[in-house]
Amino acid sequence: MNKRVLVIVLALAVILGGSVAAYAVFGSGASPDAPSTPVADATLAPESSAPTPETAGAAAGVYENYTDTAIANAQGTTLLFFHAPWCPQCRAVESDILSKGVPAGVTIIKVDFDSRQDVRQQYDVNQQTTFIKLDSSGKEVQRFVAYDNPSLQAVIDAML
C-alpha cells in the first residue's frame, strides 16, 4: 500500500513540476489572436497634452502593438517590426528595444507575424525580424531584416 501511495505522489509531483516548467517557458498561454495591449517605452511622456520639461522638444520614442489604426496614429518615423513570440531573434530585438528604449521621434509598431497575415501580405514580408520603414501615407520606403544581427543598434544603423 505504501509503495502505491508513493508512486501516486511522485506522479503528481512530476505532473505539477512539468506544468510549472511549461508555464515558465511558454508564459500564460494566451493565444496570438488574443487582444494585445500596447507596450510603451519607459521614456514615454505622460498622457497629458501639455509638454513637461522632460518631454519638451522631440517626442519620446514609442513601442506598441499593431492595431488597425496604429500606422495612421503614429508620430515621427514609423517602423513596422514583424515579430513572432517563438522566434529567438525577435525576442532578442524586443528585449533590446525594451531595455534601451526607442529613439526620440520614432514609433516602432510590433506586428504579430503569425496572426497578422494580412499585414504580412500587404508589405510582402516572409521572415520574422523584418523592419519596414513607412512614409506618412503608410507606404514602404525602406526594409531591413535583423535576423543575422538581432539588435536595436543594427536597426538604427540601417534605417535611421
Burial classification of residue 102, based on how many CB atoms lie within 10 Å of its CB (0-12 exposed, 13-18 middle, 19 or more buried) = buried
Average of per-residue pLDDT across 28-55:
38
Model confidence at 61: pLDDT above 70: yes
- CA-based nearest residue to 125, from 66, 76, 81: 81
Over range 100-106, report the average pLDDT: 95
Comparing 38 with 126, the larger pLDDT belongs to 126
Nearest to 66 by CA among 46, 45, 83, 86: 83
CATH of domain 62-159: 3.40.30.10
134: closest CA among 73, 53, 49, 59? 73
pLDDT of residue 60: 80
CB 107 within 8 Å of CB 64: yes
Residue 5: pLDDT over 90: no
- The cell for 12 is 503528481
pLDDT of 86 higher than 60: yes
Strand 62-65 and strand 106-112: the pairing is parallel
Least confident of 12-26, 55-69, 100-114: 12-26
Please give the pLDDT value at position 41: 41
